Amino acid sequence: MTPGRPPLRAAVIGAGFIGLDHAAAYAADPGAELVAVVDPEVDRAAAAAAIHGARAYSSVPAMVTGSAPDVVSVCVPTALHLPIVLECAAAGLHVLLEKPMAASVADCDAIDDACRAAGLTLMVGLTHRFHRELIEARELIAGGAIGQPTMVQDVFAFGEHGPWPAWYYDRRLSGGGELMHDAVHLVDRLAWLIDSPIVEVYGRTTTGVRGLAGVEDGGVAVLSFADGTIGSLFVFEASHPLRSDAASVPMPGRLELEIHGERGSIRYRTWHELIIDLAGAPSRTVTGVARDELPREIAEFLAAVREGRPPSVGAAEGRRGIAVVQSIYESERIGRPVRVDELFPAATR
Ligand SMILES: NC(=O)c1ccc[n+]([C@@H]2O[C@H](COP(=O)([O-])OP(=O)(O)OC[C@H]3O[C@@H](n4cnc5c(N)ncnc54)[C@H](O)[C@@H]3O)[C@@H](O)[C@H]2O)c1
C-alpha cells in the first residue's frame, strides 16, 4: 500500500478459472482489499469469497450496492464483456478486463467509449506482456541486440488438460475458437516485441479435432508487419494429451515463440525458458523465472488507477488483437490476404 493511502477496494466479476486467480492476486496485493466476488453461480462466488474473507453476490448491481468497490476485474465469458463493463462504467468502477477484449471490434469500441466517457481506467488483461522473459526479450530487441527483426513465428499447440467450459466452443459467447482464446495473445506479443503492428494476414482455420460448427480448434496465419517483418502463427488445441516442456508449464504442448533478426535470434519456450543467440556471443538461456505475471498485471492496474494515468495495456492494444483475429477469420472466408486497417479502420480517439 502507498503510505497514507487506503487500499483500493476490489471486486472480481466471474468466479471461474481465471477469476479465482484474480481474486487471489488482489487478496495478496497490499494496495488492494478484495471485498467482493460476483457470479450468478452463487456457490462459485461464495466459495471464492470465503477463501479471502470477501462477500459473494449474484449480480453486479447487488455487489455495487453492498460492497462499493473502487476497481473490478471482469472475468466472464467474452461476449458478456460489453454488458458487464457497461454496468461497471455506469457505477464508476475502474476496469481490468480479461482478454480477448470483446467478441467483436464494435464491442471493443463501445467498451472504450463507455470507460472514456465516465473518466475511468480501462486495462486489458494481455498477461503475456508481464512475462519477465518477454520483457527482457523486448528490451534486447529495442536495444538493437538482434538488429532489424526479419522473421517471427509463434506456436501454441497444447494438449487438452480437461475440457474448457462449454461457452468456449459457442461462437455467440466466445466470438471464435482457438484464435480468439490464444492467438489473441500471440498477435499481441509478436507486435509488442518488435514494436510494429500487424498490417496484413492470410489465414486458414480448421475444426478438424472436434468438428464443432463455426468454432475452430486450430488455425494458421501468415503475418505482415508494418516494418516489413514477416511471420506466422499456429494455434491448435488437441483433444489428446501432449508432452509438457517442463513441470512449470501450465499448458502442456509446444508453446514457442521465435524472433529472428539480422544479427541474432530470440526464442521463448513459454513459461519455461528464454534462449538468446546473438552473433559473436555464446548462447544464453534464462530459466527458473518467477511465474508472477498476473500479480504484476494487477499491480500495474492498481498503480494506473491510483496515479490517474493510462495503464501499460489499454483499449487500443485490446482492440488491435481482436481486429487481427477477426481479419484472419475474414481471410479464411474469402480465401485471400486481408489488410487489417481496411477491414477495421483505426478508431479516431
Ligand atoms: N489472461 C489469460 O490468459 C486468460 C486465461 C483464461 C481465461 N481468460 C479469459 O477470462 C474470461 C473468463 O474465462 P474463464 O476461463 O475464467 O471462464 P469460466 O467459464 O471458467 O468462468 C467464467 C465465470 O463467469 C461467470 N459468469 C457468467 N455470467 C456472469 C455474469 N453475468 N456476471 C458474473 N459472472 C458471470 C460464470 O458463471 C463462470 O463462473 C474469458 O474472457 C477468457 O477468455 C483469460
CB contact set of 288 (below 8 Å; sequence gap of 6+) = none
Neighbouring CB atoms inside 10 A of 11's CB total 30
Of 92, 97, 140, give the one whose Cα is nearest residue 118.
92
CA 346 to chain centre: 20
Q: For the purposes of burial, counting CB atoms within 10 Å of the CB of 174, is it exposed (0-12), middle (13-18) or buried (19 or more)? A: buried
The reported pLDDT for the residue numbered 211 is: 82
The reported pLDDT for the residue numbered 3 is: 62
The reported pLDDT for the residue numbered 247 is: 80
Interval 127-172: pLDDT, tens: 999 999 999 999 999 999 999 999 999 999 998 766 789 999 999 9
The reported pLDDT for the residue numbered 210 is: 83
In order, the DSSP letters of 77-128 are -GGGHHHHHHHHHHTT-EEEEESS--SSHHHHHHHHHHHHHTT--EEEE-GG
Report all structural domains of the chain as residue ranges with CATH numbers, in order of start.
8-126 (3.40.50.720), 128-293+325-334 (3.30.360.10)
Low-confidence ranges of the chain (pLDDT < 70): 1-4, 161-162, 348-349
Of 4, 42, 2, 49, give the one whose Cα is nearest residue 27.
49
pTM of the predicted protein model: 0.97
- Give the sheet arrangement for strand 71-74, strand by strand: 55-57, 32-38, 8-13, 71-74, 94-98, 122-125
Q: Could you tell me the distance, in angstroms and rounded to a whole number, from the CA of residue 290 to the centre of ligand 1?
A: 25
The set of cell numbers assigned to 5 is 493511502
| Angle in degrees, 0-180, between the axes of helices 42-52 and 17-28, rounded to the nearest 10 | 20
Top mutation candidate among 12, 18, 168 for ligand 1, by most atoms within 8 Å of CB = 18
Residue pair 154/268 in contact (Cβ under 8 Å)? The answer is no
| Distance (Å, whole) CA 18 – CA 97 | 11
Q: Could you tell me the distance, in angstroms and rounded to a whole number, from the CA of residue 102 to the centre of ligand 1?
A: 12
| Angle in degrees, 0-180, between the axes of helices 293-307 and 17-28, rounded to the nearest 10 | 60
| Distance (Å, whole) CA 14 – CA 67 | 16
The reported pLDDT for the residue numbered 161 is: 66
Q: Which atom of ligand 1 is nearest to the CA of 19?
A: 16
Q: Could you tell me the distance, in angstroms and rounded to a whole number, from the CA of residue 271 to the centre of ligand 1?
A: 22
Q: Could you tell me the distance, in angstroms and rounded to a whole number, from the CA of residue 168 to the centre of ligand 1?
A: 10
Dihedral sign (CA 330, 336, 338, 343): negative
Residue ranges around ligand 1 (CB below 6 Å): 13-19, 38-41, 44, 75-78, 80, 84, 98-100, 125, 127, 165, 181
Q: Could you tell me the distance, in angstroms and rounded to a whole number, from the CA of residue 94 to the centre of ligand 1?
A: 18
The set of cell numbers assigned to 303 is 498503480
